[in-house]
Structure 1
Amino acid sequence: MSAADRSVVVIGGGPGGYEAALGAAQLGAEVTVVERAGVGGAAVLTDCVPSKALIATADFMDRFSAAKRIGVHFDGAGVPRDQGVTAHITDVNSRIMGLAQTQSRDIAERLESAGIEIVQGAGRLAGAGVVEIVEGIPDVESGEEPSPHGADLAEADSSRRIEADVILIATGARPRVMDTAVPDGERILTWQQIWDLQELPEHLIVVGSGVTGAELAHAYLGLGCQVTLISSRDRVLPGEDADAANVVEDVFRRRGMTVLNRSRAGAVRREGEEVVVTLEDGREVTGSHAMLAVGSIPNTTDMGLAEAGVSLTRSGHIEVDRVSRTSAPGVYAAGDCTGVLPLASVAAMQGRIAVAHALGDAVAPLSLGRVSSNIFTDPEIATVGVSQADIDEGRVDARAVMLPLTKNPRAKMQNVQDGFVKLFARRGSQTIVGGVVVSPRASELIFPIALAVANRLNVDQFSSTFTVYPSMSGSLAEAARQLHEITD
């Protein structure tokens, strides 16, 4: 059976879902996308796109506070709020939500132009090769964070079943909450509820110092809030390169953020117009708002997965192989519901791989060793390939070189005071196997290293490529040259 004779149903319209749908349509399949809340999913509507737009706003404001360091003077004392530069959070959030909705519409138009049917509703498996769809709109009156593909739909208009040759589940994940810290949507919030704030928090307590917590703590600090970041580990961003995380934590503290390391939150309660976070050691932190960033849980409940033979992990994630197959024939999965790596780029790649494999197109299995990722703090942290921990713990036999950006001429011109580039090269072959960039717009600078990792370039090939002078990328080439000079 050719791809043109096959039908594909995608449950979930986030990056994993809509990229899979586009890939399947390009191969000629008949494609239906079932999305509960809106095309683009949480990544576009409440998570990735909005949070990065908020961070961009904070970074714009930071230019004013940095102006005096480069010789530009205002009438104020050098701090945004003293210069009359303030963030009106309702205007900021309105712009951000407008951007998110525009992006969602753009994706929907792209899907429709490819001949893909979009159904608003909740999808679940109803047997081999059958998807049951309850059409309707989300029930959001409760203020809770429902599963995007559960049965909690208000105004359910109809129910229908669709037979499909291929089913892709891409239902994502939602914020995890604590039994002792229940969000109320006003003062105690998840990261998906902050876009309804009517006032800028006077003192925001961020519970959790992973990527989401660190990014949003940085954003609200830049907007002028007092911020306390509660981290249960020895440092913020515990899963990242230690040198990089230490730089970011130092910057946080220098800019006025209170960082409480080795401090695990036990409960969050509201007392009138304040919130109180109780730590497990008995200490209490009082602020105006608290944001919970304590991980996420997959949207895989009430979807008929176990009944259809789809294996789940103990955490509720869908088990998949490197071509996104589940344990049930004809059923694939992509994105955060699989727990492979919670990045939009990985979800999209999983989705594309899934439909290519299912429809008989040429495909290479997912390779996480080539994934580049970025944390949008200031400075940003971008990584690709093997890590410093891999080398230090003997899993990879490689050398490392780290160059501070304070020596880079372009960095000096741009008043960059923090950051570095780090390259890893395998011993003997001197093949570049990974790297870390800590700098403004590190998300752009990591691309040359990602190309080198993906194409197995050695340090000589990398460093012999011309770079612009002066440029931040010059430090990448210099790091490669220094790796060449190191010998046993």
Structure 2
Amino acid sequence: MTHVTIIGGGPGGYEAALVASRLGAEVTLVERDGLGGSTVLTDCVPSKTLIATSDLLTEVGTAAELGVQVPKAVRADIAAVNSRVLALAQAQSNDIAHRLTVSNISMIAGTATIESAGVVVAETAEGQVRIETDSILIATGAHPRVSADAQPDGERILTWEQVYGLTELPEHMIVVGSGVTGAEFASAYNGLGAPVTLVSSRDRVLPGEDVDAANVIEDVFTRRGMTVMGNSRMASVERTADGVRVTLTDGRTVVGSHCLLALGSIPNTEGLGLEAIGVEVDEAGFIRVDRVSRTSVRGIYSAGDCTGVFMLASVAAQQGRIAMSHLLGDAVHPLDLGKVSSNVFTSPEIATVGMSQQQMEESDLQIDVAMMPLASNARAKMQGLHDGFVKLFVRRGVGIVVGGVVVGPKASELIHAVSLAVSASLTADQVADAFTVYPSLSGSVAEAARRLHPVV
């Protein structure tokens, strides 16, 4: 029986463990902080739970348009919200522990180092545990990047892992960083009723997303009262007597009650012993892997944020599954980033799959594009929705769907139809011919596809 040792209990680790056990391997999983990793305990699950409350309040704020009168005093109890956030995160972690237990996976709470391709050493509360193994999967994740001039204190200057200790809604939240994490938290606190200033070093929010989608989000942000400071780079953040002061590189300052740092992530690869055994990492410390999750050392695989391939829980989980299938001789489909769907949980959401418009414009592919504003959708009108669209990309001549963008409420659900089309190489005509419910938001996906029917 093959013995697999997995370092890290996040999506990349626990999904790999489940696959390996199902394929007949003996599995040992070593986790330092708690099963589910940062995804479940401090990142994805907590933040999206917070956002769910924010989205509800945002919907309540538009109730009058639908003819519903609500009290003006509707507000969030942030202490209760955060208590629920942490309880749900722990419940999810417990569910994962149960799944691993019933799958006969051995779990060790401790910090692992790799002595060789065949030996992992775990430091636990009871002492050192030496694990002899046939193969290793490294799935240690990443942690928030901070700056020497902006040190979090867990009270006023916060990383996204620390916001759930707040017991009162910030009087003025300054969010530094306008990537996905920064935009999501800025949107969430704006929806919860806190004044928000978003400090962006770029000329627009969400610089890595579809331009049309990012423009919609920035327009919504400003319309809802958020201050968006573009082309504004942080120099430092410091505590004041009753809050924080953010100093920008051009000398301007922004004063608020709290500051949330969203400056990116650093891989958790230090102290693992990678250099000694020859596992290659890039200049930022991310582990280099191929499309089946192999590292540069035979028998050692890696998955998740510590690889920097595509920092999504879904990708981490898929990398872990692929690694174990490859190791244990099951059928393997190498990771295809061209078919990954992702979502930005702002209000409204941005969901994407496949090639982006920028990638297509930079390639030699000839592409046709169709975009349907949600404002033209009958169901959207009924629900009082004004912001958002569906956009599809197809290869000219053959009509195959190669990508798409959805902006709107629950875009993360609507994107699945487009994801299926991209994954199965469906044509726009095939998407258009599939029945949709009338009225429905998904009808805009079919309508966009109909507009891409080739005209002879």
TM-score by length of 1: 0.92
In structure 1, how many angstroms separate the alpha carbons of the residues matched to 2:289 and 2:359? 25
| Corresponding residue of 1:143 | none
- After superposition, the CA RMSD in angstroms is 0.9
Matched, 1:8 2:8: no
Aligned length: 456
Residue 71 of structure 1: how far off its partner (Å):
0.8
| Corresponding residue of 2:445 | 476
Matched, 1:39 2:8: no
For the residue of structure 1 that corresponds to 2:4, the secondary structure is: strand
1:16 counterpart letter in structure 2: G
In structure 1, how many angstroms separate the alpha carbons of the residues matched to 2:154 and 2:347? 28
For the residue of structure 2 that corresponds to 1:337, the secondary structure is: helix
In structure 1, how many angstroms separate the alpha carbons of the residues matched to 2:273 and 2:162? 28
For the residue of structure 1 that corresponds to 2:158, the secondary structure is: strand
Matched, 1:114 2:83: no
Matched, 1:62 2:62: no
User: Where does 1:268-417 land on structure 2 (aligned, <5 Å)?
Assistant: 268-417=237-386
Residue 166 of structure 1: how far off its partner (Å):
1.1
| Corresponding residue of 2:188 | 219
Residue 396 of structure 1: how far off its partner (Å):
2.8
The equivalent position to 2:431 in structure 1, one of 462, 479, 482, is 462
Matched, 1:185 2:154: yes
1:159 counterpart letter in structure 2: Q
Residue 273 of structure 1: how far off its partner (Å):
1.6
Residue 62 of structure 1: how far off its partner (Å):
1.6
Of 15-24 and 269-278, more deviation after overlay is shown by 269-278
| Corresponding residue of 1:28 | 24
Matched, 1:196 2:165: yes
Of 85-94 and 432-441, more deviation after overlay is shown by 85-94
In structure 2, how many angstroms separate the alpha carbons of the residues matched to 1:395 and 1:190? 41
In structure 2, how many angstroms separate the alpha carbons of the residues matched to 1:261 and 1:302? 38
2:98 counterpart letter in structure 1: E
Residue 395 of structure 1: how far off its partner (Å):
4.3
Quickly say closer, same or farther: Cα 1:64–1:159, change in 2 above 3 A.
same
In structure 2, how many angstroms separate the alpha carbons of the residues matched to 1:116 and 1:64? 45
For the residue of structure 2 that corresponds to 1:133, the secondary structure is: strand
| Corresponding residue of 1:205 | 174
1:468 counterpart letter in structure 2: V
User: Where does 1:431-442 land on structure 2 (aligned, <5 Å)?
Assistant: 431-442=400-411
Contact 1:382 1:446 in 2 (8 A): yes
Quickly say closer, same or farther: Cα 1:336–1:395, change in 2 above 3 A.
farther
In structure 2, how many angstroms separate the alpha carbons of the residues matched to 1:62 and 1:456? 37
For the residue of structure 2 that corresponds to 1:195, the secondary structure is: helix
For the residue of structure 1 that corresponds to 2:155, the secondary structure is: coil
% identical aligned pairs: 61
Of 83-92 and 291-300, more deviation after overlay is shown by 83-92
For the residue of structure 1 that corresponds to 2:34, the secondary structure is: coil
In structure 1, how many angstroms separate the alpha carbons of the residues matched to 2:27 and 2:455? 54
For the residue of structure 2 that corresponds to 1:484, the secondary structure is: coil
Residue 90 of structure 1: how far off its partner (Å):
1.1
Contact 1:390 1:396 in 2 (8 A): no
In structure 1, how many angstroms separate the alpha carbons of the residues matched to 2:140 and 2:87? 23
For the residue of structure 2 that corresponds to 1:422, the secondary structure is: strand
In structure 1, how many angstroms separate the alpha carbons of the residues matched to 2:186 and 2:161? 14
The equivalent position to 2:87 in structure 1, one of 74, 81, 98, is 98
For the residue of structure 1 that corresponds to 2:352, the secondary structure is: strand
1:458 counterpart letter in structure 2: T
For the residue of structure 2 that corresponds to 1:468, the secondary structure is: coil
Post-superposition CA distance 1:171-193 (Å, at most 9, x none): 00000000100001100000001
Residue 63 of structure 1: how far off its partner (Å):
2.1
For the residue of structure 2 that corresponds to 1:306, the secondary structure is: helix
In structure 2, how many angstroms separate the alpha carbons of the residues matched to 1:397 and 1:354? 35
For the residue of structure 1 that corresponds to 2:247, the secondary structure is: strand
Contact 2:117 2:135 in 1 (8 A): no
Runs of 4 or more consecutive aligned structure 1 residues displaced over 6 Å after TM superposition = none
TM-score by length of 2: 0.99
Contact 1:275 1:287 in 2 (8 A): yes
2:21 counterpart letter in structure 1: A
Post-superposition CA distance 1:274-314 (Å, at most 9, x none): 10000011000000000000000000001101101100100
In structure 2, how many angstroms separate the alpha carbons of the residues matched to 1:471 and 1:378? 19
Matched, 1:71 2:67: yes
